[in-house]
Structure 1
Amino acid sequence: MPELPEVETVRRGLAPVLEGARIATAEVRRPDLRWPFPERMAERLTGARVDRLRRRSKYILADLDSGETLIVHLGMSGRMLITGDGAAGMPGAFAHDHGQIGKHDHVVLTTEAGARITFNDARRFGAMDLVETDRADAHWLLAGLGPEPLGNAFNEGYLAEKFAGKRTPVKSALLDQRIVAGLGNIYVCEALWRSGISPLRHAGRISKPRIGRLVPAIRDVLSEAIDAGGSSLRDYRQADGDLGYFQHRFAVYGREGEPCQTPGCTGKIRRKVQSGRSSFYCATCQR
């Protein structure tokens, strides 16, 4: 499932085409994805201008001049692709002619400038909903989310307070969206390796100085992944259809049995299943 860097990459790709644009037509080609679409979704989107495109955790939010916000979750295989003349002035990969709408193209938005934004989702685990903008934070998908890991509210003091007394593994704690929003399996593995912390260690047993190394490691790995366009594993694509490239920089994820890349470390990367997810780490330098 796309993690924060992939979703942020898609948001940034969509922003030049969608922000300030008016939706001339909206086509909803099935009644549901993971959940039913909201009532009259196509009618409510048609004619609306996108005032702002933002991200919350792993969700893309399009604030409309109608006073509503379109919430988009990509699910496991969802993609939002841009085609058409309305993409002129964007990077060349955007300026493809409109192709024939495929069977997995479930929502199609066309702007007055002629750009087409297509939500394609072969597995149909994605989701869309419309909610009043001033109540978006209270939506059941967003309510209760922790702070953004790239925001000021996520810092050493905050994380130390949340970890205090916790007997759950630090990997599980960081994946808890109530503690920090948007972190997923790949980047937690990478950040824990960078900070020298074992994913098996109880969160409550991590000292404040080590938390002080973990917070910037999380920020750095996310920022680097966004700059690289995310990580392409299986279905993920950027908004222009290109692959992301951060997977070529993985130090531990998917590298079971390979030598640890920490300078001077003689260990090898191990894999252990935690809560149904694979943790990749070096038992020699991650304690």
Structure 2
Amino acid sequence: MPELPEVETVRRTLNELVRGKRIERVTVSLPRIIQRPQEPEAFAAALAGHTIQSVERRGKFLRILLDGLVLVSHLRMEGRYGVYRADEPVETHTHVRFHFDDGTELRYKDVRQFGTMHLFAPGEDLTLPPLNKLGIEPLDEAFTLQAFKKALSNRTTKIKPLLLNQAYIVGLGNIYVDEALFTAGIHPERPADTIKPAEWVRLYEAIRATLSRAVDVGGSSIKSYVNGQGELGMFQHELLIYGRESQPCRKCGSSIDKTVVGGRGTHICLRCQPLSKNRRVAAAKSNVK
């Protein structure tokens, strides 16, 4: 958290709230949030006087485009942005404040303190870390069935860790991978090279449909996620399998299991997402290790 739908919702909200605002100064209270340049003083000085042109997204990263600079921001586990009047009290765990010349502020709050900010010249951000090795955007036109299969189908790795790997497809995290695999009827421990052509079609369509619907309703507020206006997402009310351990499957009524796949908590309906006996044995041995 947050994943593509949540970051996209934040992007849209911030685009409405801060586009056209001119930064007068920047206050950094937690230096380690600033990754580039390494000195928070240089970061603040570089941004002073610049105007925000728009807010874009690449995978789970926000790209705040200014006149002559690009600010790349990753929210990590619990980072959040909000716009406030300058005279409003500053909440605990507010680590970066962008002071605008109209008397408002964009504030970045992060209880877990895992978020990052990188500052680049225009175009440079796409050729350097952390954005330079990201995969296909699953809601872009470039994400075709052919491109999807080409990226993953010949690999022997389990399908869930592959879908979580941002070098292949960006924006997918634990929630939406579980949801898409369930919708497609594919067990998360299936090696990618065992998935059949019809299953690839179902999985491709499930990823697109799940993410599109989640974006439409503002993402999922599972823990602390809110958009830039402090509003909750609504997709958590539509989740089919994620977070529903021991509850009845919405398709077949069987009890939903929870296990660990690739180090991540994973929700499965063993009736709707079958795994062959041999692979069940292999998976059980792998999980014990």
Which letter does structure 2 place at the counterpart of 1:77? E
Answer yes or no: is the 8 Å Cα contact 2:160–2:262 preserved in 1. no
Q: Give the structure 2 partner of residue 180 of structure 1.
A: 169
Answer yes or no: is the 8 Å Cα contact 2:34–2:118 preserved in 1. no
Answer yes or no: is the 8 Å Cα contact 1:38–1:130 preserved in 2. no
Structure 1 unaligned blocks of 5 or more: 85-96
Answer yes or no: is the 8 Å Cα contact 1:131–1:139 preserved in 2. no
In structure 2, what is the Cα distance between the partners aligned to 1:35 and 1:137?
16
Answer yes or no: is the 8 Å Cα contact 1:231–1:245 preserved in 2. yes
Answer yes or no: is the 8 Å Cα contact 1:192–1:199 preserved in 2. yes
> What pairs with 1:50-61 in structure 2 (closer than 5 Å)?
50-61=52-63
156, 169, 172: which one aligns with 2:158: 169
Structure 2 unaligned blocks of 5 or more: 275-289
| Runs of 4+, deviation exceeding 3 Å | 34-39
Q: Give the structure 2 partner of residue 121 of structure 1.
A: 110
In structure 2, what is the Cα distance between the partners aligned to 1:286 and 1:118?
43
Post-superposition Cα deviations, 1:10-45, rounded to whole Å, max 9, x if no partner, equal 111100122222112222223222857643111111
Structure 1 residues 110 and 34, CA, compared in 2 at 3 Å: closer, same or farther? closer
Percent identical among aligned pairs is 39
**C-alpha root-mean-square deviation of aligned residues, in Å?**
1.7
> What pairs with 1:194-205 in structure 2 (closer than 5 Å)?
194-205=183-194
In structure 2, what is the Cα distance between the partners aligned to 1:76 and 1:229?
17
Answer yes or no: is the 8 Å Cα contact 1:17–1:115 preserved in 2. no
Answer yes or no: is the 8 Å Cα contact 1:77–1:236 preserved in 2. yes
Secondary structure, counterpart of 1:285 in structure 2:
coil
Q: Which has the higher mean CA deviation after the structures are superposed, 121-130 or 267-276?
A: 267-276
In structure 2, what is the Cα distance between the partners aligned to 1:215 and 1:114?
46
**Structure 2 length-normalised TM:** 0.89
Q: Which has the higher mean CA deviation after the structures are superposed, 47-56 or 223-232?
A: 223-232
Q: Which has the higher mean CA deviation after the structures are superposed, 112-121 or 167-176?
A: 112-121
Post-superposition Cα deviations, 1:93-127, rounded to whole Å, max 9, x if no partner, equal xxxx8421234111111223333210011221001
Which letter does structure 1 place at the counterpart of 2:66? L
> What pairs with 1:1-287 in structure 2 (closer than 5 Å)?
1-33=1-33, 35=35, 38-39=38-39, 40-65=42-67, 67-84=68-85, 98-262=87-251, 265-287=252-274
Answer yes or no: is the 8 Å Cα contact 1:38–1:129 preserved in 2. no
Structure 1 residues 164 and 224, CA, compared in 2 at 3 Å: closer, same or farther? closer
Q: Which has the higher mean CA deviation after the structures are superposed, 185-194 or 102-111?
A: 102-111
